[in-house]
Structure formats: C-alpha cells, structure tokens
Amino acid sequence: MKKAVIFDFDGTIIDTETTWFDVYRDLLKEKFNIELPLKEFAKSIGTTDEAFYQYIELTIGTKIEPQNINKLANELFLEKRSTLSIRPGVKEKLAEAKELGCLIGLASSSSREWVEGFLRQFELWEHFSVIKTSEDVEKVKPDPALYIKALEELKVEPQQAYAVEDSVNGAIAAINAGMKCIVVPNQVTSFLRFPEKTFRFESFDEFNFGQILSYKKFV
C-alpha cells in the first residue's frame, strides 16, 4: 500500500517564520511604537494574517491598510532573504522518504509563486510529486483542504500519509484530513502547545522515517 509524506513549507522546510516575526516586530515598533508579542504573531502562523491585523488595529485603536504594512514588510524581508537557509535535516528527511518508496508532497497556505521561488532557489523542486498552495483551495489551514487535495492527487489514503509541520494551524489541518502529523517546531513555534495526536520532535535529527513508518502508533 502506498505511503506519502507531505511537508508544510514556511517554517518547516525553510524557517521564514522567524524572519517574518523579526520584520514585523521591528516594523510595528518603528511605525506605531507598539510591541509585537510572539504569542500574537503565532496565531497567524500557518494560516491567514487576519488575526495579526486585528491585533494591530485593537492595539493602536484605529483601522489600518494591510497592503501598506505588507509593502513595507516585504521590503524589509527582501533585505533579510539572503540569510535564509534550509532547516538542518530537511534534505536528509526528503532522501529518507524517497528511499523508503514514499510519495512526497507539499501543502502550504502561502502562494504558489512564493513557494516555488524558494524551492527552485534551494534546488528542492524535484523532490515533490505534488505541490498544493493557497490558489488550490478556498480555505487554507487550519482547514484540511490543502492536505485533502494533495492526498487526492497522490492517490494515497489519509491513514497512510504523514504530515510534517511546524505550526498548530498546520497540525490541526493534517489531523482533520485524517493524517498522522509529525511536528518539528522552529524558533517562533517552539513555545506552542500542539494537539495531543501529534508526534513532536525538536529537530529533524531526532527521528527517521524508517522507524516512524514501522512504529505501531504510526501504522
């Protein structure tokens, strides 16, 4: 029976999340003289930015233009983009999954242009049989649609699939899609409490897919 491993992208393969937090923290301090608590920023990790902008408006007491904030944030992010790299152990996990005969997919709440740009930059494109992004669904994570779409295209049953995530929103999406979920938090998600049904590791070096696929709790 075919098995699949479906990776999240932002924060999981490349830790863009920590860089975005640094960008928005500095931007809000400079523009509005407000602090950005990590717990508030984390609410939007793996999903839309709606809760994040609501926090800003509630804190400053007035409406904002999200597109203006985004423009400034994107400019700051581009300045830091060269510092980004693949998270340690990700390439090894992709190789392990392939050697075990697993189909490999990607499911991200980000745009296709964003995801594909990084995959090509870091020469990861060839690893993925299926890539699903925000353009492929009406609702992104924590809605399970992205994972369901990826599973359908891979032709793999949910109970034979494993999601690799870094965020609570992503983990909820995977579980609600009927999958098993491995969580490897990054710097800005390590403090979060994940659903009990997830299997958490602090780094990619702490596990290998060979053991996980044979472990009875994962079968």
Dump the DSSP string for 81-126.
GGG--BPTTHHHHHHHHHHTT-EEEEE-SS-HHHHHHHHHHTT-GG
With contact defined as beta carbons under 8 Å apart, do 137 and 153 qualify?
no
143 is a catalytic site residue: no
DSSP state of 14: B
Dump the DSSP string for 177-216.
TT-EEEE---TTTTTSPPPTTEEE-SSGGG--HHHHHHSG
With contact defined as beta carbons under 8 Å apart, do 168 and 46 qualify?
yes
Question: What is the identity of the amino acid at 96?
Answer: E
* From 8, 15, 49, 143, the catalytic residue: 8
Q: Which residues are catalytic?
A: 8, 10
